[in-house]
Every structure is written in C-alpha cells, then in structure tokens.
Amino acid sequence: MSMHEFEDLVETSIRCLDQAGQHDSMELRTLFYNLYQFQEAWDTGFTHLRVLDILLKHKFVYQFEPTQHPDYSAHQAFFDNVRDFTFVGLHPEQRWNGDTNPTAGYIDPPYLYCDAGSPLWQQFVTSGVLTGDDAIPPAKLDMADLAKEVVVAGRAQNNRELISLWYTALGVDLWSFRAEDALDAAKSNRSIIAIREIAMETKALDIDPGYGLLQQPPPDAVKGYPFLSWWFQRRPRKGWVGSSFLKRIFR
C-alpha cells in the first residue's frame, strides 16, 4: 500500500516552494529533484502529474512531442499506439529492469515527458536538444539541507502544518537511513539546528497534522532510542501507531 503521507508531503512542499518566491528556477529544479528522490526512498507512487504545471515552469520536467524521442524512428509503432499514461523505458519496447532498462520518461498523451537528471533527459542533452542551463544535472542535496529549504519557505508563508510535518519526516528519515555515529553528528548540523529553531519559534510542534509514519510519536514510543527521544522530546500524543512503526522502520 502506497505511503500517501510522503506523497502528500512532497506535493505540498513543491507548492510551497513555488509560492514562496525565495529561489530561482534552477534552485527549485534542484529542490524538486531531491524531493522526489526522498519520496522514492519510501513505498510511494508516481505523483508528478499533481503539480505538473509547476514542474514544467521551473524546468524540472521537460515536455516533447513523442515524435521527438531520440529513438522514435526505431520504435514508431510503439509511440504511435500509446493511448494512456505509459512509462517509457530506456529501451522503449523491452520489459522494465532497474539495472538494464530503467524508466527513462513517460507519456501522458499527447505529450512525452522527462525529468531533469533522468536517462531520457540525458539523451536529449547528448543529442544537443537541451543545452545551457537545461543541460546541467540537478545536484544531490543532503536531506537536512533539503528539509531546511522547505521549512524556511513554510515559515515565510506561516505554514505551521508544513513545518511540523517536515520536522517529523526529517526525524524519521535520519533514523531510518543514518548510522548511529551519523545521528550524533547530526545534532550539531547547521541545517538541523535551524529547523529546530524555526519549529520552536513558530510553535509548529504544538500541532500534529501528520498521519501514518508522519504522525508525531509520544515519548514512550521512542523510549530506548536516544536520537528519537532527543528529536521528539516534546511529543505527548495518544493513539499514535508507534509500536508497528518502530517494528517496521527502526532497527
């Protein structure tokens, strides 16, 4: 079952970043790339179409006619017969394989799309269709730096719900994917310090708009987990799905 809480968080974050007006399009392009990398780390679905207008505006997603695909002539029958939303592999008519035939782009008739940094985007760069800034791959950001940018945008729009959600999401993500020594080092990370300060300043931690794994845990659910106890030290919340959460996610 898809983790809709992460899908919704990414969608809301993209809308917030776009509306905040604090970054130029190239910066937003990088942030969007990293938001979707974060989303894909969890059991989530494809949600680009929810905010496609924003993704196109800031050139994270590129739109083409299917006839512009670099291999159109070799796979004309395939492209001409697409009637519904379809993922397009690096080798369009072969079965998907994460190593040898990853998803390169997608068709939502009547257009073909690709994300910046994707295999199809790279084909358009190599062929000279995309040049200049469009040919620059998005940079990989540290998770804490990514979260800080969204939280700062949330503060600018008085969006306490988004700040609260990202505070929980970052704690969950750090614990799930970082080694113990890295968790100790994270406590002095400048972005994490900034996020905690903003959360306190806005009193975003006094509300809990999350659901699923983004619902704040009560203290007894994180007892015995030093980093989580430190991170969620102000979270008295009853009825949280903490026990199953810990069994599935925490080591």
The count of other CB atoms within 10 Å of the CB of residue 40 is 12
Condensed to tens digits (0 to 9), the pLDDT of residues 38-55 reads: 999 999 999 999 999 999
The pLDDT of residue 139 is 98
The pLDDT of residue 183 is 83
Grade residue 3 by pLDDT with cuts at 50, 70 and 90. Answer: very high
| Mean residue pLDDT across the chain | 92
DSSP summary character for residue 101: B
The pLDDT of residue 182 is 79
B/e letters for 120-152, b = 16+ CB within 10 Å, e = fewer, are bbbbbbeeeebeeeeeeebeebebbebbbbbbb
Grade residue 250 by pLDDT with cuts at 50, 70 and 90. Answer: very low
Grade residue 234 by pLDDT with cuts at 50, 70 and 90. Answer: low
Grade residue 218 by pLDDT with cuts at 50, 70 and 90. Answer: confident
CA distance 197 to 28: 23
CA distance 33 to 11: 12
CA distance 61 to 76: 23
The pLDDT of residue 167 is 97
The pLDDT of residue 243 is 42
Condensed to tens digits (0 to 9), the pLDDT of residues 5-15 reads: 999 999 999 99
Window from 7-21, 84-98, 230-244 with minimum mean pLDDT: 230-244
Grade residue 220 by pLDDT with cuts at 50, 70 and 90. Answer: confident
192-196 long-range contacts, CB within 8 A, separation 24+: 192/144, 192/148, 194/148, 194/151, 194/152, 195/144, 195/147, 195/148, 195/151, 195/166, 195/167, 195/170, 196/167
At residue 7, the 3 state secondary structure works out as: helix
Q: What tokens were used for 121? A: 């985007």
Condensed to tens digits (0 to 9), the pLDDT of residues 123-169 reads: 999 999 999 999 999 999 999 999 999 999 999 999 999 999 999 99
The pLDDT of residue 226 is 86
Grade residue 249 by pLDDT with cuts at 50, 70 and 90. Answer: very low
- Rounded to two decimals, what is the model's pTM? 0.90
The pLDDT of residue 1 is 61
Window from 35-39, 141-145, 244-248 with minimum mean pLDDT: 244-248
